[in-house]
Amino acid sequence: MAQDDAPQIYLVTPPEFELGTFPAELARVMGEVEIACLRLSLATRDEDRLMRAADAVREVAHQQDVALVIDTHVVLAQRLGLDGVHLLDGARSVRAARKELGADAIVGAYCAQSRHDGMTAGENGADYISFGPVSGALGGGELADKELFQWWSEMIEVPVVAEGNLTEALVRDLAPVTDFFAIGEEIWNTEDPLATLKALRAAMV
């Protein structure tokens, strides 16, 4: 994923979707708004369902010349010829994923709110670091605040992604200090995902 002056959209699939209808909805969104990368992020562990979902969304992504990565599943990323993997365990799996997938694959790491994990993941070969959630943590959970993104953008060259319960106000606030916004359920849970995404996109500029 390339850096630019304005943040770019890193689109995330919903955790559940209908294979018969979602690809058309995805195509509508991706045809109207520029997307830097697409992440397949399903809640299921069922390998057959993951593979069928990957086939369906990959077709849409590649029609738009957009890279497709998958949560966690290095083996599936390799088997299905996807563009990379998004790791959810901070820095722990980055080195192994990079070795397995090769230099050209996208390897991203979600590091919650940990600067240390982020820096370690970057040193181990991650192409980007994701911090979050930026709002709405349940049960007193920690949030990734603006200060973390500010520090990262000033000190570290590895691109940074903001994710987790984004709002227009948060996007506007974080736009100067992040490279990508990972947007998923924020749009898919609304009546008009495309309109919602366009509103978030407008807040980035």
Distance between CA atoms of residues 84 and 81, nearest Å:
8
Cβ–Cβ < 8 Å for 40, 53:
yes
The boundaries of the domain holding residue 105 are: 8-204
Q: Residue 149's closest CA among 137, 136, 163, 168?
A: 163
Q: Which pair of tokens denotes residue 19?
A: 């294979």
What's the domain count of the chain? 1
- Whether residue 1 is contained in a domain is answered as no
Check residue 1 and give its pLDDT: 45
Cβ–Cβ < 8 Å for 192, 163:
no
**pLDDT tens per residue across span 31-90:** 999 999 999 999 999 999 999 999 999 999 999 999 999 999 999 999 999 999 999 999
The reported pTM is 0.95
CATH number (domain holding residue 165): 3.20.20.70
- Whether residue 196 is contained in a domain is answered as yes
Cβ–Cβ < 8 Å for 30, 38:
yes
Q: Which pair of tokens denotes residue 178?
A: 């992040």
**pLDDT tens per residue across span 129-157:** 999 999 986 556 899 999 999 999 999 99
- Whether residue 159 is contained in a domain is answered as yes
Q: Where are the alpha helices (DSSP H) in the chain?
A: 22-32, 47-63, 74-79, 94-101, 115-123, 146-155, 168-174, 185-188, 193-204
- Whether residue 3 is contained in a domain is answered as no
Distance between CA atoms of residues 200 and 11, nearest Å:
12
